[in-house]
Amino acid sequence: MKSDIRKVETTCNNCGSGKSTLVTVGREHEYDNTTDDDFNVVRCSDCGLVYLNPRPDVSELETIYPPNYYAYAIEENYDESQKQNFYYKYRYSKILAGLEYVLSFCKGDKLKVLDIGCADGHILNWFRKVRTHDVETYGVDLNEDAIRKARSQGHTVYAGRFEDVEIPEGQFDFIWASHVIEHVPDPKAFTEKVYRLLKPGGIFWFWTPNIESVDARLFRNKHWGAYHFPRHWVFYDQRSVAKLAEITGFEVVKIVYEPNAIFWVWTFHSMLKDNPFLSKFADTLFPPIDWARTNMSNLIRNASFAGLDTIIKAATGQTSNMGVAFHKPDRGQ
């Protein structure tokens, strides 16, 4: 584990204010090959946006995203026998239905779709399987091995940080970023680039943690799984994403909340890791990396947490997993 990695002081990305109050302090607990530094989560005193300050410098991305980062090999984790079991089929039938729903906000039957942070192309594979649209798939990622895997499956993939790579503007009908925006150093600039890449009338759909969910409030003192220390740098709620849309020229057309078992897995993993008597059981009881494998223990664990989120959603209308649809206005209409 590296200590004293390079960090940068930052200000509120929504309003530019440098005034903030401390929310909590936390550190890495999911991987043993990143950094053991502590990180502050703060809340903007002027607009309420929550963010990491100081955060890792972008030069440390290879440090905080190790070679075994879970997103780099999701598709590879499923062999043919696993793809035939009930858990895999059920999980991905829900994903397929969800992708068809988000694409319903687009106009036309033929769509050019860009996945920001496409990793090994596992979600792009499912975009190609939707029954409602003819989808041409594009992706962008910074991990060379993941890019190679995605390209081998027939996707057009741009290599590098989304903010840096050259991508044709005004070309895409739909841009997808599932749990990406909270990882970037400048979400405003990130969203402005999305705006430029979309066709008029295009849709930007992103998923991000909801900092005002019940579990975020309950485990606010360092253990909330969606802190994902030190990889999540900005934390939104309904009010702050509306502000993001306003300052980038988008219109908010939909906000939804869905269960997300992994945040609960990471929450309990953090609590066990922090306990000197129980830490040795953390990786087995709440695996932070292999949580998506199609085995019975994951099925039981993830289904239980998804059920808990479903109850919380029924009671509060929200979960910690927030889906947001931004619409680029069609000025010609």
* Whole-angstrom distance, CA of residue 331 vs CA of residue 333: 5
Which pLDDT score is estimated for 333?
Answer: 47
**329 Cβ neighbours under 8 A, 6+ residues apart:** 200, 201, 249, 250, 251
Residue 52 lies in a domain: no
Query: What is the residue-level pLDDT of the chain in tens, covering all 333 positions?
Result: 999 999 999 999 999 999 999 999 999 999 999 999 999 999 999 999 999 999 999 999 999 999 888 777 555 555 555 555 555 666 677 888 989 999 999 988 899 999 999 988 989 999 999 999 999 999 999 889 889 999 999 999 999 999 999 999 999 999 999 999 999 999 999 999 999 999 999 999 999 999 999 999 999 999 999 999 999 999 999 999 999 999 999 999 999 999 999 999 999 999 999 999 999 999 999 999 887 777 788 889 999 999 999 999 999 999 999 999 999 998 654
* Whole-angstrom distance, CA of residue 143 vs CA of residue 135: 24
Say if residue 333 is exposed, middle or buried (CB neighbours under 10 Å; 0-12, 13-18, 19+). exposed
- Specify the number of domains making up the chain: 1
Residue 170 lies in a domain: yes
| Cβ contact 263:215 at 8 Å | yes
Residue 178 lies in a domain: yes
CATH number at residue 303: 3.40.50.150
Supply the pTM of this predicted model: 0.89
Which pLDDT score is estimated for 297?
Answer: 87
| Cβ contact 234:196 at 8 Å | no
Residue 174 lies in a domain: yes
Residue 63 lies in a domain: no
* Whole-angstrom distance, CA of residue 46 vs CA of residue 44: 5
Residue 22 lies in a domain: no
Residue 196 lies in a domain: yes
Residue environment code for 177-212, b if the CB has 16+ CB neighbours within 10 A, otherwise e: bbbbbbbbbebbebbebbbebbbebbbbbbbbbbbb
Which pLDDT score is estimated for 236?
Answer: 98
Encoding tokens for residue 155?
A: 């996707």
Domain extent for 167: 70-327
Closest by CA to 325, choosing from 101, 118, 168, 136, is 101
Encoding tokens for residue 107?
A: 């106009």
Encoding tokens for residue 323?
A: 């889906």
**92 Cβ neighbours under 8 A, 6+ residues apart:** 126
